[in-house]
Structure 1
Amino acid sequence: MEIFDQNSFTIFLMLAALAYVLLSTFLQKKFGKSERLMEINKELNAISKKIGEASKRKDTKEMDELMKKQGPMLSEMMSLQMRMLPITLGLFIPLIMLLTAIEPYTSDDFKVALYDDGLLAHCDAVANDLIYSGCFILNSTQKGAWVVSAEAFINNGSVAQNSTALYVQGGKPSDVYLVSKQHGILEMVLGTKAVSISPYADRQEYSLGQAVSLHAKVSEQVDAASATVNNGTFYFVDLPFALPILNIQRLVGATGFFILASFVFSILISIFRGALKKANVKLPSLAFGKGKPPEQNPPEQNPPAQ
């Protein structure tokens, strides 16, 4: 049973993004000294401007003095940035894992086992040719773009993942987002040979009720392979306009919309705080035990009348 539908999950993502921006901003300010980082940026910009002016005057002595000031500030800036990174990632990664876990339209996904045994029952033509195969029937009534995600395993661990799309009586490539994970960070660090997997079907366009013959070619021998079919249902948000540079109008999955919402809220909060600063309006801040409120003396009492 799913907790959210399309609209309620979108609202939940927006609230989660707002909470994430506010909390991360507060933690960065309290523990990461984000205000000091802003001060350093301003000072570095001023120094860079002075270095440019001194360079035009060919004043080598002043340039050397300014660059001596610049060095320690750059080191401090990098130190502060590294200090804020665990705060940001410590919030972002668990939150993304939670949002992905409760994302709607995943309960009807189903798995297809893939084999490289040459059996007709598994739709595999040749055994041990590094092409894993499997079959399934399009029993759903869902039309449009479907996503099939193939995964390869060695020692029960995932070593490669890639996706392909099927179009069931409609749909187009821009309707879906295909995930590919061919090179793991651990493999890159250890220098081991990475495994790749390339899924494909016997055709791209299908009708409801037809059989799908699915194949996945791997670059190296693996212990097992399987595929997950999303049944043509998935969470997405269609934006009113395409994102600049990326040229993407449909965001598929919780992660993309959450990142976009966090970015927008971050900009809006910065504008709001800037406007308050110009108007000399100070927002109340939480002390969190750093100091005590000033003690107030009790009002003086007149001595009792004799």
Structure 2
Amino acid sequence: MTNKNTVLVGCGNMGYAMLQGWLASGKLQPSDVTVIEPADSLRERAGKLGVKAVKNSAEILDTPRLVIIAVKPQVIQNILPDYKPYAASATFLSVAAGTPVALFEQILGSQSAVIRCMPNTPAAIGKGMMVTFANSNVQPDMVQFTEELLATSGQVAQVNDESLMDAVTAVSGSGPAYIFHFIECLTQAGITAGLPQDIAGMLAMQTVYGAGALAATSTDTPSQLRINVTSPNGTTAAALDVLMGDSRLQNLLTEAVEAARQRSVELGKS
């Protein structure tokens, strides 16, 4: 693709982390990018990466091929009309949580090309999970281009039914918080078992990190990895009897994910 002119609207922590990934990978050059960021400190931070960083859309000089919306959902309706002049030629990629494609089509026009993305916070260190949904107006080359950009921040998957984004939000969007809480709980359990707080925290953190890395790189399924570490009548088996008895942990997580999914549906209607 020869025209890679990209406008990034909003350069907070997520937008900045994604921008760093695009530039570091070489998928975009600094000259390809214009950042729109009204906050002085954030705009200056972006400018240090060599990109053009300006306060508002009036300062865009080159017609963009891609407009990335990385602002808080509550301000989308205020800022999006400024970019309607580019709707006929640009693809819009939104990383704003809970914002349906229909809102973009309503503001930009029914023929606008829109990709909705649900990232999660590990994207900030290149270990994220990004899931996308594209409307029928998005051209195949732009689907490929945006996926290549997103892949610099982690893994990318696609869904063909936008309603599934509520489940995506509940599993991977909110999911890091579940893992963080698990680390908290495992740490506290270690303290209760007699470990010093710093040691308990280190054990919990590294165990979750190491197990996740092993699961991500092993050819075995997580179920098989669990079996591999569980000796009959051993210590792990005793613990798993508690967690897996009556499907206790499975039921709890299913209930938690469903609560998050339902809330995502509610927020999408508000």
Q: Structure 1 length normalisation: TM-score?
A: 0.22
Query: Which one has the bigger helix percentage?
Result: 2
Greater relative contact order (Cα 8 A, min sep 6): structure 1 or 2? 1
Query: Which one has the bigger strand percentage?
Result: 1
Q: Which has the larger radius of gyration?
A: 1
Q: Structure 2 length normalisation: TM-score?
A: 0.24
